[in-house]
């Protein structure tokens, strides 16, 4: 039997949503063990002067408890 937990994180990137997701997973992996999945709950952009300057994702990370 395994038990999983879900935690929510926010990650940003100046390149893309995909890069923001990768950054978030990479950082979460430094602290959380046994990450088994992630769900992108929300996405948003920062705009300055009519141009996108940042991408942000809110993710729910699933990890299996030892």
Residue 32 neighbours by CB under 8 Å, 6+ apart: 7, 61, 63
User: Which pLDDT score, from 0 to 100, does residue 66 have?
Assistant: 87
Residue 1 neighbours by CB under 8 Å, 6+ apart: none
pLDDT in tens, 14-65: 999 999 999 999 999 999 999 999 999 999 999 999 999 999 999 999 999 9
Domain span holding position 25: 4-64
Classify residue 65 by its DSSP letter.
Answer: -
Tell me the C-alpha to C-alpha distance, in Å, between residue 54 and each of 4, 27, 30, 31.
32, 18, 23, 25
Q: State the pLDDT confidence band at 1, using cuts at 50, 70 and 90.
A: confident
User: Which pLDDT score, from 0 to 100, does residue 40 have?
Assistant: 98
Task: Assign residue 43 the CATH number of its domain.
Answer: 3.30.1660.10
Q: State the pLDDT confidence band at 3, using cuts at 50, 70 and 90.
A: very high
Domain count within the chain: 1
């Amino acid at each position: 039997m395994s038990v999983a937990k879900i935690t929510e994180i926010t990650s940003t990137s100046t390149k893309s949503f995909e890069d923001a997701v990768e950054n978030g997973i990479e950082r979460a992996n430094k602290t959380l063990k046994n990450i088994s999945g992630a769900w992108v709950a929300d996405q948003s952009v920062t705009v300055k002067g009519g141009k996108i300057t940042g991408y942000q994702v809110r993710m729910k990370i699933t990890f299996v408890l030892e």
